[in-house]
Amino acid sequence: GNSVVIGGLVGVHQYVRIGEYAMVGGCSALGRDVPPFVRAAGGYRAQMFGLNTIALRRHGFSGARMNTLKAAFELLFRQGHRLQEAIKLARNEYGESTDVMTLLTFLESTSRGICQVSSRELDDEEE
């Protein structure tokens, strides 16, 4: 994807996709897709840790856009819904957001699956 940041010593399987504005922390291994707008990190199997807010701010995303993405992320990955059900809910709730639609289209088109979401969210300073 566009505007992706990949840290040093990151291993990426040849068919893995990394969505726009995503950030992958150093020394991570990716065997599954990393959705747009998120931060992922972690040794053997990288996990998502929330939105890549630093990159979104640097690229001029407004607070409202980031809040919409954050709400969609919470709905998709932290509320316990099955992914297909969460995608439908997010489309109904946030379907007017082109950013959310980019995220949903990416999720629907994965062939390798997406990396798991971590049970915790890193602070921006921990990136």
Range of the domain at 47: 5-120
The pLDDT score that the predictor gives to residue 1 is: 83
Residue 127 lies in a domain: no
Neighbours of 9 (CB within 10 A): 9
Residue 125 lies in a domain: no
CATH number at residue 39: 1.20.1180.10
Residue 114 lies in a domain: yes
Residue 126 lies in a domain: no
Domain count, the chain: 1
Residue 59 lies in a domain: yes
Residue 30 lies in a domain: yes
pLDDT, mean of residues 19-41: 98
Interval 85-97: pLDDT, tens: 999 999 999 999 9
